[in-house]
Structure 1
Amino acid sequence: MLVVRVLGGLALEHAGEPLEPPGSRRARELLALLAVTPGRCSRGLLAARMWPDVPEAGARTGLRGALAELRRGLGPHAAVVQAGRDDVGLDPAAVRVDLRGFRAAADAGRWAEALAWDRGTLLPGLEAEWAEEVRAEHARSLLRVLAEAAAGHEAAGRLREAAELAARRVRADPLSEQAGRELVRLLAAAGDRAAALDAGRALAERLQRELGVPPDRETAALLDGLRRARAAPAGDDAVSGPTAPALGDLAPAEFVGRDGPLAAVRAARRAPLPAMVLVRGEAGIGKTALAAVTAREAVAEGWTVLHGRCDEESIVPYCAWVEALGPVVDGLDDRAAARVVDDGGGGLVRLFPRLRRGRQGPEVTEDADTERWRLFEAVARLLAGLAARAPVLLVLEDVHWADRSTLLLLRHVLRTSQETACAVLVTARPEEAGEEALLPALLTQERRERRLTEVDLAGLSETDVGRLARRHRGGSDWSRFVRALHAETEGNPFFVREILRNLPTTPDSAPLPPAGGFDVPDGVRELLQRRLRRLDPVAQDVLTLASVVGRDVDLGTLEAVGTWAPDHLVDALDAATASGLLTEQGIGRWSFPHALVRSALSDGLSRTRRARLHARVADALERRGAAGAAEIAHHLLGAGDPASVDRAVGYARQAAAEAVAQAAYAEAAAVLRRTVDAVTAVLGADPHRLGPLLLELGEALSRAADTAAARQTFTEAAGAARAVGDPAWLGTAALGLAGPSWQGFGTVDAEVIGLLEDALAVVPPDRPALRARLQARLAVALSFARRPERVQELTAAALDAARGLGEGPVLAAALEARLWATWHPYGVAERLALADELLDVARREDAPETAAVARRWRVVALLEAGRIEEVWPETARHAEEAGRLRMPYELMYVAVFTTMRALLEGRLADAQASAEHVRTFAELRGGADAVQFGGVHALTLASLAGGLAAMADPLLGFARAYPALPAWGGAAAYALAVAGRTDEAQAEVDALWPPEERLPVDAVLLPGLVFLAMAVTALGDRERAAHLYRLLEPLAGRTVVLGAGGAVWGTTDARLAELAETAGRPGAAAAHRAAARAALRALGADPELFARSAHAVPTVH
């Protein structure tokens, strides 16, 4: 039977093989017209449709000519055109038309069958009037079918499938507001709120851009509801914010010269989708004052204001966030706290243990990225809950001192709160970026996304300095005085105020010093020291001690450390407050008004005196039991007392553990690094003391994704272990250096392999669990080292030991190592069995994270086995597990599998969007995988879109970067051949020849053979094509999967067909080609797209 396709373009097919349509343009148009016309059509009507502007006699003559050309073009199939005296048609018994199949299925209500016929636009490019009419009619039918099919899926509870069909409907009719609204609704119902909001935003942009109208009331209400969907439930126990933020109380009475910056901040805060405002300026320039005035205005408008500060000597992880969110958490009653925790806020317990209220804390996983992600999501949900009640202004000051965890959380909030009424205002000094390169990167990203408003504060003008001076003092003509004051301070408001405070007190009517006549110190530190000297000795000592305690101090601590009488102490604090050197924050609590004030006091101390004060503070805090481990450790380490080393180490380790529990891994590492340095400085490089600390430090650095520092630390720990002769330490150091099993795909790390081998050689048999872990991790490290016998030996030993031990985590590690060892074309069946066993272990151990990993392995193995009907349910289960657990690495794979399916089904725009999402995971510890998936996706998109030649140089880059993955070299050879760079392509092929020696039996063997086959075919190398055919033939019918589900490149039969054709075996080529097309259909792929793309190898020789 002859198949005529008009959906997606005019095409002919017979017995599974494509045929060339007739060469004549009018013959092709006649064939298309006959195909879309039901039954037989009169000659007069056909002629009129094809030549509407030609007289009837001329049109009929043209029709006779077109009929003759059509019959000639159809060759042996000419008889399918049945032409009578009065009418013409296609023989329904000999011809099957896809449009007719679509119409029949749609009329019968068989929606899935109708959609299976649809391959794209009807007769694209044909501009005849009749074609436009039929095209419009089919578009209406398609929209109806998509709507009905989506409704059926929704009624059956298959919301993801319903949303996918709704997305197709939007692509078919992008200006239909009803279709766009339905997509938003279904995405939200399926639980993908982010995608729903993206779809809503895209709909609004299309309506405005193309039609010049905003969304209607129904759409606007839907989107507004979505923006509030992440809020805590309404009612008496809903989340509410603080009503009187302290920041607004700091707004100065003399706020002058800042009308422009204040207007810019005000506009950004009130924007429809407020994002981030950066207020930047030098110390003392007025950043806090501007933030305070903004906060005061926001409160007056009914906003909730949250305020936190970063400190140069940050002791507590996430200190700014704890300060900002603390009033919210403290305001929750038991019922509201329980609702917040149950509604996905369990991660907040890590920051605020008091939220637990007697309940069990959140389950802790071993995966650092997952724990951090859960905490970040909990904070984002809390902010969304607040924003549902009232707009939120989050103010974070001095972010140039922010720790890495604080910045990572800020970035997450900015990314996830784009549809939430939450504005973020941060302040920073331009000259201090701290040690974190993350801050500049975050600002760059916000600029790129056009979500950042930058406000740079400069010095006040001379006029504004005069206004500020007059508010401090009245008097006669100030012009000369103000001119000198402005020149001396360059308009810095803090410096201006300090100088004005430092002037001798005189009546307003008294004459002022002449210009330049007052004594201005060289710098503000000297000025502050002068003000300090005006206080009595007790006040001076109190302030000096307070500067060592920290930016915030309380009366109890000062009483416990000092020897002053209580009344004298309070008098001293009152005097310091009156002089502007302290600010009273509440009963018994003070803070330094500016970091410059505290540093001016503490910097004047000798090292010895500072150390002694640290020791006294530590003792007092320990006695009182009013401080956390981090604060006590900070002071003990600052004391540097050999007699206190053990106490310091104990508190430091406790502080690091608390930081890890809060997913503040960088802060845990900072505490441990300072501890290591302090112990070394006091006691020297004692391996007995340093070994455990180095192991903990290495683990914290690894969790913080500081891989280079972690490796160095684990290497140092291994040295300490060797010096002490402790094999367990050495084994732990080796496992730490190796990192997670998924880290480093396609690399051979000689240092890791060497240390694992050394540890395995000395860990005794009476430590079977540690030995099994070492064997499993070493096997993974050797995956691409071309030592298969050693890998098999190690995985067999690890599995035997683990099964004997009965310890779930050890068995899981051994099973995953064996999965790596069998990741090759000949190990699919064993991999499926291993993945099933790993899933059973996860169920027995109640380890959902392990279950997600097992499902990921199952997806890849099922793909390779061609069991496509099982793949999509398994990807859905994997996505559900990953989403529920918030495991970033597995969420990356959710995006990978989504991209893979879109590529397979020819939905290139969807694939491009999800591939972009994959690349956002490059910052994780397994970020190199995201980079390689980016290469796989770019290669596949370019191939399907016909732009493969441009990929030649990037693929060469991947080949050089990953020499253990020769498949990249094969892909580069193919792209070079397509680009016409045949000499370079030949050189890449030569480097991989003979393939049975150059391509190891590993995870990329099949892609390597396939790419090499495509390159050889493109080069027309008959001898090598025959050689590759013999190697690939035993794998006929196998699905070609790039990486761990990155993309599917059809089946091996397509490549075997090309190799057979090149080798001069046309019969074998035809058989393989038919099998390949059948396999593509079974996979749900678009054979026409694959046939048109570079997947169909051009010959360039």
Structure 2
Amino acid sequence: MDGREWRVQVLGLARLCGPDGQRVRLERRTAALLAWLALQGPSPKFPLASLLWPDSPTTTVRGNLRQLLRRLRLATGEESLVEGDTERLALSAPSTVDAACLKAASEARAHTEALACVDAEDSTLLAGFDFDDCPELARWLDGARAGIAGWVREAREARITQLTAAGDWSAALGLARAWARQEPESEQAGRHLIRLQYLQGDRGAALATFEHLRDVLDRELGVTPMPETLALVREVEQAPARPRPAPATRFALPLSVLRPPVLVGREAAWRQLEAGWEAGQLLFISGEPGSGKSRLAEEFAATQGRWGRIEARAGDRDVPFASQARAFRTQLRRWPDVKLPDWVRTELSRILPELGEPRLLPPLASGAGMLRFYDAIVAALQLLHEHEDISVADDVQYWDAASARAFTFAFSRLADTAPPGGRSLRFIDCYRRGELSPEARMHVSRLVDAGLARIVEVDALTDEDVRRMVAAMGLPGAEAHVEALARYTGGNPLYVVETLKHLLETDSLQREWPQRLPPPGRVGPLIQRRLEGLSPVALQCARLAALAGAFFRASLVPRGLQVTPAEAHEALAELEAAQVLLGERFSHDLVMEAVRAGMGPGEERGLHARLAALFEEDGAPSILLAHHWLGAGWTEHALPHLLASARSDEQVLPPELAAGHYARAASLMQSLGRHAEAAQARAAEAQCRLQAASAEVSPFTPAPAAGPAARGSRG
């Protein structure tokens, strides 16, 4: 698909989706015709029409069919979705119909692609329609609905198993919850939900899920839970415990290794967090990569109230509002019932195009316009965090400057509008030690000096901490290696876990400490050994993902590596089994860094060029295209996109963002000897900076004395 075609949705609410955002409800028989062709393929014309109008004369049936196809063409502006001759009908492009895509993906056992075809909340074929007046069609529909339910169930089961084994419990939990909502009596879905809630540290929720499942089974089916469900619940009740071995061809890591059951060596840090919480301070948690910052933040937040998690990713710094947009999308997925006011949706469409049409908005060239945009951010934050007490932000060292500035303003305004003694949203930010930008580092220091924030440093575990951590995992043979493990890992929790994974995968726990492990205290070489065990296609796939960063999608792999969809799916599954990828992101930044470190300059330029071409086909943002063309060494290709990004930012974002792009373009033009064009870009830069200066609004740069402004220090 080129992204400019009409798409047909017959799973869930039946409708047409146009290339420019149009939505057209499908009439009952039209939807049935498209669903039939999607699942049955090309079909004889008159027998199919007779299913739709079973009691009508032949001439009426033929006339009705002609009118149906004519209305369908008119609805799409004369684009033909169905083609045929005097004898047969077929879909013009089956890949534009969700049911056909689901069928193809299910037959290929491409589970990720299959789930992408369905709505998480309702995958029922022709939902809301019945065909009691068309008995043969109704019988077919019953069978087709059962078949689709089976495909979706199989895809969910496989995908949840993959994600759980890979450690991406949040994504797996989302799938399990959707499954349990659609099939509340499914013990298969219930077991996944119980296991994942326990993995995320919420034992109470896991046990509550079991009680709900038991009630549903008793009320709806008159049965008791199966033995495997009861066995899983006993494991949760007796935590820490080893999971039952899952039937799988790949090695299944124990639950205790996927999430060590005891948080060790963090007693002093916990006391600091408690003191900062009582003082009403913004809490920063800083530490080396892999030191357990996120785990500490999440467990502490869980003791203080309802909490949610947002994150930044490597590459965000280069794209204005990338971090802010991801945070909003995370919250919109978490709280889909929240209704944003129209004016808020309109303003946020500047950074979330799916909420509206940003081209229809006036440029942010005035103080009033910028204030309205920032006020929309404040309103959205209030609504999207209405059911949460704490927001945990991970990897804030990656936050882009535009997002940081927006948060600074927003959280200042939130504090100003909070009622005296009322509940206010609290924040815990995690960042890598030494990796904040200079601007963010200075801002954090000012807040700490003013007593408004507290930095809690997370250091390496002691030898005794490592011993306690390993003992809690309950791995036979592991405690004999504690001394060597502590020395080898330097007490870094992630390194401990990664090393134990390696020993488990190589069946080394019951043997002497290996003599040929990588140098002590470094996980990079250990990850590199894991990468060396990948197939060539999987390794290339990982490298493509590393360069694509936050914009990586599984759909890029077949085109980017010129492999078949089946080969791409196999490579992605291999990366998940090796815990290199978790879905479409890396299991850890250290893994991504190891992947990038293994690339030669020539290979990196080649992959940048492929990504640039692919993103250009997909209509990606201009700044992203410029980034990859520059990475490929093709400056001439990058310049038009860099200028286009500047002009686009000038229309919908604060003008100082556009100024930076104009400045970069001018420098590149100067290096190519295009002096006249460089001068024009410099003039555009100067104009943007003048607009920025005239539009400056004082609340955007609050002083440290406004305590909650600390919360905008994500940078």
- TM-score normalised per structure 2: 0.55
1:320-379 residue CA offsets vs partner (Å, 9 max, x unmatched):
221111144468889933x2526xx754232223333x7995544523x55444333222
Cα distance change, pair 398–889 in 1 and its aligned pair in 2 (3 A): closer
1:360 & 1:593 partners in 2: Cα distance? 37
Structure 1 residue aligned with 2:263:
256
Which of 370, 384, 390 is the matching residue for 2:382? Answer: 384
Question: Which amino acid counterpart does residue 655 of structure 1 have in structure 2?
Answer: S
Question: Which amino acid counterpart does residue 407 of structure 2 have in structure 1?
Answer: L
Q: Is the 8 A contact 1:250 1:289 kept in 2?
A: no
Structure 2 residue aligned with 1:818:
none
Structure 1 residue aligned with 2:561:
562
Say whether residues 1:411 and 2:408 are aligned partners: yes
Which of 610, 617, 620 is the matching residue for 1:616? Answer: 610
Q: Is the 8 A contact 2:490 2:520 kept in 1?
A: no
Q: How does 1:350-369 map to 2 (within 5 A)?
A: 350-356=350-356, 361-367=360-366
State the secondary structure of the residue aligned to 1:466: helix
Q: Is the 8 A contact 1:310 1:319 kept in 2?
A: no
1:486 & 1:347 partners in 2: Cα distance? 52
Cα distance change, pair 572–477 in 1 and its aligned pair in 2 (3 A): closer
1:1065-1096 residue CA offsets vs partner (Å, 9 max, x unmatched):
xxxxxxxxxxxxxxxxxxxxxxxxxxxxxxxx
Structure 2 residue aligned with 1:995:
none
Q: How does 1:70-89 map to 2 (within 5 A)?
A: none
1:456 & 1:890 partners in 2: Cα distance? 31
Q: Is the 8 A contact 1:371 1:663 kept in 2?
A: no
2:353 & 2:390 partners in 1: Cα distance? 25
Structure 1 residue aligned with 2:486:
486
Cα distance change, pair 505–399 in 1 and its aligned pair in 2 (3 A): closer
Which of 614, 618, 621 is the matching residue for 1:628? Answer: 621
Which of 659, 674, 679 is the matching residue for 1:691? Answer: 679
Q: Is the 8 A contact 1:398 1:429 kept in 2?
A: yes
Unaligned runs of 5+ in 2: 1-170, 176-195, 202-257, 710-715
Say whether residues 1:461 and 2:462 are aligned partners: yes
2:368 & 2:530 partners in 1: Cα distance? 51
Greater relative CO (CA pairs within 8 A, separation 6+): 2
Structure 2 residue aligned with 1:309:
312
1:335 & 1:554 partners in 2: Cα distance? 27
Say whether residues 1:663 and 2:656 are aligned partners: no
Which of 419, 425, 428 is the matching residue for 1:425? Answer: 428
How far apart are 1:686 and its partner, in Å?
1.5
Cα distance change, pair 673–306 in 1 and its aligned pair in 2 (3 A): farther
How far apart are 1:620 and its partner, in Å?
1.1
Q: Is the 8 A contact 2:287 2:433 kept in 1?
A: yes
Provide the aligned C-alpha RMSD in A.
Answer: 4.0
Q: Is the 8 A contact 2:378 2:413 kept in 1?
A: yes
Question: Which amino acid counterpart does residue 539 of structure 1 have in structure 2?
Answer: A
State the secondary structure of the residue aligned to 1:424: strand
2:364 & 2:555 partners in 1: Cα distance? 38
1:375 & 1:400 partners in 2: Cα distance? 24
1:615 & 1:602 partners in 2: Cα distance? 16
Structure 2 residue aligned with 1:341:
343
Question: Which amino acid counterpart does residue 674 of structure 2 have in structure 1?
Answer: D
Cα distance change, pair 421–637 in 1 and its aligned pair in 2 (3 A): same
Q: How does 1:134-153 map to 2 (within 5 A)?
A: none
State the secondary structure of the residue aligned to 1:465: helix
1:680 & 1:296 partners in 2: Cα distance? 54
1:198-238 residue CA offsets vs partner (Å, 9 max, x unmatched):
xxxxxxxxxxxxxxxxxxxxxxxxxxxxxxxxxxxxxxxxx
Structure 2 residue aligned with 1:205:
none
Unaligned runs of 5+ in 1: 1-241, 585-589, 706-739, 741-848, 850-886, 896-913, 921-1101
Q: Is the 8 A contact 2:311 2:394 kept in 1?
A: yes
Cα distance change, pair 703–283 in 1 and its aligned pair in 2 (3 A): farther
Structure 2 residue aligned with 1:474:
475
Structure 2 residue aligned with 1:640:
633
Which of 276, 280, 289 is the matching residue for 2:295? Answer: 289
How far apart are 1:395 and its partner, in Å?
2.7
Cα distance change, pair 324–702 in 1 and its aligned pair in 2 (3 A): same
Q: Which has the higher helix share?
A: 1
1:482 & 1:346 partners in 2: Cα distance? 57
1:522 & 1:259 partners in 2: Cα distance? 20
Structure 2 residue aligned with 1:571:
570
Identity across aligned pairs (percent)?
Answer: 21
2:276 & 2:172 partners in 1: Cα distance? 19
Cα distance change, pair 472–654 in 1 and its aligned pair in 2 (3 A): farther
Structure 2 residue aligned with 1:452:
453
How far apart are 1:667 and its partner, in Å?
4.5
Cα distance change, pair 330–281 in 1 and its aligned pair in 2 (3 A): closer
Cα distance change, pair 403–416 in 1 and its aligned pair in 2 (3 A): same
State the secondary structure of the residue aligned to 1:381: helix
Q: Is the 8 A contact 1:307 1:394 kept in 2?
A: yes
1:421 & 1:568 partners in 2: Cα distance? 50
- TM-score normalised per structure 1: 0.37
Question: Which amino acid counterpart does residue 267 of structure 2 have in structure 1?
Answer: G
How far apart are 1:507 and its partner, in Å?
5.0
How far apart are 1:659 and its partner, in Å?
3.5
How far apart are 1:307 and its partner, in Å?
0.7
State the secondary structure of the residue aligned to 1:350: coil
How far apart are 1:534 and its partner, in Å?
0.9
Question: Which amino acid counterpart does residue 888 of structure 1 have in structure 2?
Answer: V
Structure 1 residue aligned with 2:444:
443
Q: Is the 8 A contact 2:323 2:400 kept in 1?
A: no
Q: Is the 8 A contact 1:528 1:597 kept in 2?
A: yes
1:493 & 1:262 partners in 2: Cα distance? 15
Cα distance change, pair 488–371 in 1 and its aligned pair in 2 (3 A): farther
State the secondary structure of the residue aligned to 1:428: strand
Q: Is the 8 A contact 1:257 1:464 kept in 2?
A: yes
Q: Is the 8 A contact 2:575 2:581 kept in 1?
A: yes
2:691 & 2:292 partners in 1: Cα distance? 38
1:904-930 residue CA offsets vs partner (Å, 9 max, x unmatched):
xxxxxxxxxx9x99xx9xxxxxxxxxx
1:466 & 1:401 partners in 2: Cα distance? 33
Question: Which amino acid counterpart does residue 372 of structure 2 have in structure 1?
Answer: R
How far apart are 1:380 and its partner, in Å?
1.9
How far apart are 1:456 and its partner, in Å?
0.8
Question: Which amino acid counterpart does residue 404 of structure 2 have in structure 1?
Answer: L
How far apart are 1:617 and its partner, in Å?
0.7
1:840-882 residue CA offsets vs partner (Å, 9 max, x unmatched):
xxxxxxxxx9xxxxxxxxxxxxxxxxxxxxxxxxxxxxxxxxx
State the secondary structure of the residue aligned to 2:555: helix
Structure 1 residue aligned with 2:15:
none
How many pairs does the alignment contain? Answer: 452
How far apart are 1:262 and its partner, in Å?
6.9
Q: Is the 8 A contact 1:561 1:617 kept in 2?
A: yes
How far apart are 1:596 and its partner, in Å?
2.0
Q: How does 1:938-949 map to 2 (within 5 A)?
A: none
Q: How does 1:151-550 map to 2 (within 5 A)?
A: 253-254=259-260, 255-257=262-264, 259-260=266-267, 263-264=270-271, 267=274, 274-294=280-300, 301=305, 303=306, 305-312=308-315, 314-329=317-332, 336-337=339-340, 339=341, 341=343, 347-356=347-356, 361-367=360-366, 370-387=368-385, 389-418=386-415, 419=418, 421-434=424-437, 436-437=438-439, 439-470=440-471, 474-476=475-477, 478=479, 481-503=481-503, 505=505, 510-513=510-513, 518-520=517-519, 523-550=522-549
1:377-432 residue CA offsets vs partner (Å, 9 max, x unmatched):
22222222345x43342233222333322222232233222236211221122222
1:480-510 residue CA offsets vs partner (Å, 9 max, x unmatched):
x322322232211222223333337455872
Q: How does 1:998-1013 map to 2 (within 5 A)?
A: none
Say whether residues 1:597 and 2:604 are aligned partners: no
2:600 & 2:327 partners in 1: Cα distance? 34
